[in-house]
Amino acid sequence: DAGITQSPRHKVTETGTPVTLRCHQTENHRYMYWYRQDPGHGLRLIHYSYGVKDTDKGEVSDGYSVSRSKTEDFLLTLESATSSQTSVYFCAISESIFSAGPKNIQYFGAGTRLSVL
């Protein structure tokens, strides 16, 4: 998985509790992404980061926040988890987003399966 570690791999939590998912990379790539995957929707971008402390919203950012204090770590936080946030969450990394071609390839982690009861 291209030096990407997601933790935890599985989590069950209750509605209203805060949850933080961690993505750790060893590739020193500048760009990091959080996606969620749900049946019938494919992968949808939640947030992405283009550097330390630099983040931006994706397609489905409501209810999520992110932080990146170090190049290698990108955290996704659900401040108050809801059942609609039950999903599989994937982290991805890439060298660039502005150049087309090889440096724009995204490499994905193994995913975190989150259940909100």
Partner 1 sequence: DAKTTQPPSMDCAEGRAANLPCNHSTISGNEYVYWYRQIHSQGPQYIIHGLKNNETNEMASLIITEDRKSSTLILPHATLRDTAVYYCIVRAPPNTGNQFYFGTGTSLTVIP
Q: What residues make contact with partner 1 under the rule CB under 8 A?
A: 1, 4, 33, 35, 40-45, 48, 56-59, 90, 92, 94, 97-98, 100-102, 104-111
Give whichever of 26 and 80 is closer to partner 1, judged by the CB atom.
26
Give whichever of 54 and 59 is closer to partner 1, judged by the CB atom.
59
Distances in Å between the Cα of 94 and the Cα atoms of 30, 88, 98 are: 7, 20, 11
Evaluate whether 2 touches 105 at the Cβ level (below 8 Å): no
Give whichever of 75 and 97 is closer to partner 1, judged by the CB atom.
97
* Torsion angle defined by CA atoms of residues 44, 33, 14 and 116, in that order, rounded to the nearest 10 degrees: 30
